[in-house]
Amino acid sequence: MASRDYPFERGHNEVLLDADRRGVPERRRAEPSDEARMRIAMLAPPWIPVPPPGYGGIEFVVALLSDALVEQGHDVELFCAPGSRSKARVRPLLQSAHPEEIQRALIEADHVARAFEAVDAAADDRRPFDVVHDHCGYTPLAMADRLATPLVHTVHGPFDQDTSPYYAFHGRKGRIVCISRSQAGMAPPDSGVDDVVYNPIDVDSWPVGYRKEDYLLWVARMVAEKGPHRAIKVAKAVNRPLILAGPVQPGHERFFANEVQPHIDGRMIRYVGEVGGARKQRLFADAFAFLMPITWPEPFGLVMIEALAAGTPVLAFANGAAPEIIQHGVNGFLVDDDDEMAAVVEQAAEISPDECRRTAAERFAPDQVASAYERVYRRAAGRDAGPRVREPAASR
**pLDDT(3) > 50:** no
Alpha carbons 57 and 50: distance in angstroms, whole number: 10
**pLDDT(24) > 60:** no
The pLDDT of residue 99 is 83
Task: Please tell me the total number of residues recorded for the chain in this structure.
Answer: 396
Provide the angle, in degrees to the nearest 10, between the axes of the packed helices 353-363 and 302-309. Answer: 130
- Pairing assessment for the beta strands 289-292 and 314-317 based on DSSP bridges: parallel
The pLDDT of residue 285 is 98
Tally: H helices and E strands in the chain: 13, 13
Region 327-332 average pLDDT:
97
Assign 101 a pLDDT band (cuts: 50, 70, 90): confident
Region 261-278 average pLDDT:
95
Alpha carbons 143 and 190: distance in angstroms, whole number: 18
Cα–Cα distances in angstroms (integers) from residue 84 to residues 103, 213, 283, 375, 388, in the given order: 19, 34, 25, 26, 35
Region 175-202 average pLDDT:
94
The pLDDT of residue 54 is 72
The pLDDT of residue 34 is 62
Which DSSP symbol is given to 345? G
The pLDDT of residue 386 is 45
Which DSSP symbol is given to 125? T
Assign 103 a pLDDT band (cuts: 50, 70, 90): confident
Taking alpha carbons only, the member of 328, 363, 360 closest to residue 344 is 328
Q: Could you give the 3-state DSSP secondary structure of residue 151?
A: strand
Region 372-394 average pLDDT:
68
Angle at 247 between CA 245 and CA 253, to 5 degrees: 115
Q: What are phi and psi of 288, to 5 degrees?
A: -65, -40
Assign 29 a pLDDT band (cuts: 50, 70, 90): low
Provide the angle, in degrees to the nearest 10, between the axes of the packed helices 277-286 and 302-309. Answer: 70
The pLDDT of residue 384 is 64
The pLDDT of residue 30 is 52
Domains and CATH numbers, the chain: 39-200+365-380 (3.40.50.2000), 204-363 (3.40.50.2000)
Mean pLDDT score of the chain, rounded to an integer? 89
Segment 40-90, tens digit of pLDDT: 999 999 999 999 887 678 999 999 999 999 999 999 999 999 999 999 999
CA atoms within 13 A of residue 161's CA, in its CB half-sphere: 0
Region 9-13 average pLDDT:
40
Alpha carbons 272 and 269: distance in angstroms, whole number: 10
Q: 306 with 201: CB under 8 angstroms?
A: yes
Alpha helix segments (H runs only) across the chain: 57-71, 105-124, 139-142, 164-170, 181-185, 228-238, 253-255, 277-286, 302-309, 322-325, 338-344, 353-363, 366-380
The pLDDT of residue 33 is 63
The residues pairing with 39 across neighbouring beta strands, listed in sequence order, are 75
The residues pairing with 379 across neighbouring beta strands, listed in sequence order, are none
- Nearest-Å Rg of the Cα atoms of the chain is 21
Alpha carbons 338 and 335: distance in angstroms, whole number: 8
- Pairing assessment for the beta strands 216-219 and 39-43 based on DSSP bridges: unpaired
Q: 317 with 295: CB under 8 angstroms?
A: yes
The pLDDT of residue 292 is 98
The pLDDT of residue 388 is 40
